[in-house]
Structure 1
Amino acid sequence: MFIQPSMSLRMRGVALCAGVLALLTLTGCGGKQSTDLPSQAVAVKAMQVLQQATPVTYEFIGEVEARDEAQVRARVSGNITAKMVKGGDAVKQGQPLFQIDRRPYEAAQSDYQAQLAEAEAALSRVRRDVVRYQTLVTQQAVAQQMVDNILAEEQQALARVNASQARVEQARIDLEDTTVVSPLNGRVDVETLSEGNFVQAGQTILATISSLDPVRVRFNMSETEYLRLARAGNSAAEWGEGLVLILGDGVRYPLPGKVEQVDRGLAQQTGTLALKALFENPDQLLVPGMFARIQATGEIRANALLVPQRAVQELLGKTLITVVAAGDKAETRPVTLGPRIGNMQIVEEGLTSQDRVIVEGFMKTPPGTPLAVTMITPDDLSQPAAK
């Protein structure tokens, strides 16, 4: 027998089905709605890519060295009896530095002077005999052989005089060399010997003196850099004028420099070319051993694209820059860089003049991130960056 369900039971089933359908609908709509909701934009600072004619500046790491440097060695042996300077003193050419014991050389000079006097007396005696024998030979009182013998004795006596004179002169020089003087204007190193030390002629280094003004700065450049600079100017005499020196504290040295020496070829081990630039040093601010950066101006790039150096990112051997793409969203692009110009960087490939590069905040903006962009100018780059 068929029993018809009651009205209340049918209504309850309809309500249950409606609830399930509503739940499924809400779940589906909720998932789609979560993907459509916009994320919060990240605040960044960006700058328009600059396009302008730019003189390319090349920068190299250099080391200051003395233009002239001399190791002071004694020319005579003996004990140091006096020291006239201390380490670090500035000295003039010819200024006394050390005194070596004079007494042995004074005695030697006196001995050689006595030998010279004896030789001169012997020569005078022989010459008187020569005159007498020459008179006798004209009178045929002596044989010519005796005259020839006395003339030979005269030559021997003259040779002994000359030898004695040479020894006396050498003794005078040795005595003079007991006072060791500076061979140039400069500064004495602090590793000088003290009184009482024994010095060996030609071997012992008493001190090292480095010239103070001017100084050289030695630096190296790659083959590519050399070719670019050579094409900008016919020789180092052209592009090597007006070099700029940036000291270790970042301050620019006030006086310009110029290339003075260029090595004959590239170093086999490094493939670089060694150069030396000359800088005047009247205030003696530059000290040998000091490191500094040398800047040289090369060719002028027409329509060069420039971005702030702080916008450049290095990641896994790649060079990247984050730009503000369409819709104010972040986009990371690989780029090829050219030379650095101050706090700016030339970009060879990867950007156009229409691009805006993120200068601050790119670390928080993976590709596709919505951006709240604040534009800045090159004048604002002096402020520290907040990545």
Structure 2
Amino acid sequence: MVLFSSCADEKDQEEKEKVTVSAAIEKEIRFSRTYPATAVALEEVELRADVVGYVTGIFIKEGQEVKKGQLLYQIDPTRYEARQQQAASAVSIAESNLERIKKDFERYERLKAEDAIAAQIYDSALNELRNAEQELNAAKSELENTSIDLQYASIYAPFNGTIGFSQVRMGSLVNPGESLLNIVSRDDPMGVDFYPEERYLNKFLELSTYETTLEDSVFTLKLSDGSIFPHPGEIEILDRAVNRNTGTIQIRVKFDNKERKLRPGMSATLIVNETENESVILIPQSAIKEQMGEFSVFVVENEEVKQVKVETGRNYQDKRVIKEGLEPGQKVIVKGIQKVQDGDVVEIIEEKES
């Protein structure tokens, strides 16, 4: 009997399952959400011809930075210079004609005051004066129009920015309103557009007035190469309405872009951080068992397994937040949960912290 009892104890010892456990930890963390985002220029202008003519000058290097007021393109100004000179001459003639008619009319006015002129002659002189004034106004308008056309024959940079690939070459014929010459966009600051769900609208309305630094930034940008953009962002625009088809709202975040690392059209990941830390209980995700929409974990106390239902929260790195069901320090099984049941006695192995 002693031999049988000894063998039974050895058998029980051999039947203990070895499981790896990890302690539930309480930690102050700052949650964040990520959104796919696209860089956009806050200011972008299409340069189009406003007059017809041949391109006679291209004064830019494609892709270069340009300064406000810098001459970029020249459309043949010859015809517009000729029209301006013609219009200027017409103004001079109209002014001389008006001056002559005005002197005649002044003489007729003196004669009328002395009742020494027929009313018909006076009325005719008055009409001639009014016609001369209108002719001068028309000539001045034509001069202004020709001056504007001549001005439009030279295309200047509307602001400091970067110019793209030229859509025309020397000698190209351009037409007003139709021919695209190039596109200029402002580099600094730069916008980033993303589309959160409408349920987060109130949160972003609050964040629109929140001031941050890079160390305490709400909006952080991860570039496509995995690097973090070196400046914090702030909300520039919230769209006026929610998209009915997608249930999302367009939001634009502004970033300083002094280093010119952002270019329009670039893809990035926008990280939206919470403004305050939150104290939560964390366990490895491998410890959680799901069945019929309910979540549970196996807790080990005095080498005995106990299955406990838990309410889970958000993911955090390789761990999961536990809202209810666990206390800090409790040990949960992270390896071997498929081999144990409630009430089993196990041999535990402490998981090494990575």
Q: TM-score, normalized by length of structure 1?
A: 0.73
Local SS of the residue matching 1:116: helix
Post-superposition CA distance 1:199-243 (Å, at most 9, x none):
22122221111110001111122234445x36xx85531388832
Contact 1:305 1:348 in 2 (8 A): yes
Bigger Rg, structure 1 or 2: 1
Q: 1:174 aligns with which of 139, 143, 149?
A: 149
Seen in structure 2, the aligned counterparts of structure 1 residues 348 and 272 have a Cα distance that, compared at 3 Å, is: farther
Matches within 5 A, 1:236-251: 236-238=208-210, 242=217, 243-251=219-227
Distance 1:277 1:201 in 2: 35
Seen in structure 2, the aligned counterparts of structure 1 residues 358 and 36 have a Cα distance that, compared at 3 Å, is: closer
Distance 1:191 1:39 in 2: 76
Distance 1:356 1:252 in 2: 36
Distance 1:225 1:39 in 2: 50
* Counterpart residue type for residue 272 of structure 2: Q
Q: Match of 2:55?
A: 80
Local SS of the residue matching 1:153: helix
For the pair 1:353 / 2:328, whether they are aligned, the reply is yes
Post-superposition CA distance 1:78-112 (Å, at most 9, x none):
11111111331111222111110111111111221
Q: Match of 1:294?
A: 271
Contact 2:58 2:170 in 1 (8 A): yes
Distance 1:207 1:331 in 2: 70
Post-superposition CA distance 1:285-312 (Å, at most 9, x none):
112222222222145434x12245x748
Structure 2 residues not aligned, in runs of 5+: 1-9
* Bigger shift: residues 275-284 or 261-270: 261-270
Contact 1:267 1:273 in 2 (8 A): yes
* Counterpart residue type for residue 185 of structure 1: N
For the pair 1:218 / 2:197, whether they are aligned, the reply is no
State the Cα RMSD in Å.
3.6
Distance 1:208 1:194 in 2: 15
Contact 1:58 1:340 in 2 (8 A): no
Seen in structure 2, the aligned counterparts of structure 1 residues 176 and 88 have a Cα distance that, compared at 3 Å, is: same
* Counterpart residue type for residue 282 of structure 2: L
**How far has the Cα of 1:160 moved from its partner?**
0.5
Matches within 5 A, 1:266-305: 266-290=242-266, 291-298=268-275, 300-302=277-279, 304-305=280-281
Distance 1:188 1:219 in 2: 25
Distance 2:349 2:89 in 1: 99
Q: Match of 1:110?
A: 85
Contact 2:300 2:333 in 1 (8 A): no
* Counterpart residue type for residue 340 of structure 2: G
* Bigger shift: residues 206-215 or 191-200: 191-200
Contact 1:305 1:347 in 2 (8 A): yes
* Counterpart residue type for residue 219 of structure 1: F
Q: Match of 1:152?
A: 127
Contact 1:323 1:355 in 2 (8 A): no
Q: Match of 2:352?
A: 376
Seen in structure 2, the aligned counterparts of structure 1 residues 35 and 314 have a Cα distance that, compared at 3 Å, is: closer
Contact 1:81 1:195 in 2 (8 A): yes
Local SS of the residue matching 1:238: coil
Contact 1:239 1:298 in 2 (8 A): no
* Bigger shift: residues 310-319 or 291-300: 310-319
Post-superposition CA distance 1:320-371 (Å, at most 9, x none):
7976746879999997653344565433456553444677xx5x87333977
Q: Match of 1:61?
A: 36
Distance 1:155 1:52 in 2: 89
Contact 2:32 2:271 in 1 (8 A): no
Distance 1:312 1:267 in 2: 40
Aligned residue pairs, count: 336
Q: Match of 1:99?
A: 74
Structure 1 residues not aligned, in runs of 5+: 1-32, 381-387
Distance 1:201 1:111 in 2: 22
**How far has the Cα of 1:252 moved from its partner?**
2.1
Matches within 5 A, 1:317-336: 325=300
Contact 1:60 1:294 in 2 (8 A): yes
Contact 2:287 2:298 in 1 (8 A): no
Q: Which has the higher helix share?
A: 1
Distance 1:113 1:65 in 2: 45
**How far has the Cα of 1:66 moved from its partner?**
0.9
Local SS of the residue matching 2:138: helix
For the pair 1:367 / 2:339, whether they are aligned, the reply is yes
Q: Match of 1:264?
A: 240
Q: 1:205 aligns with which of 180, 183, 188?
A: 180
**How far has the Cα of 1:154 moved from its partner?**
0.9
* Counterpart residue type for residue 270 of structure 2: R
Contact 1:94 1:182 in 2 (8 A): yes
Contact 2:41 2:191 in 1 (8 A): yes
Local SS of the residue matching 1:237: coil
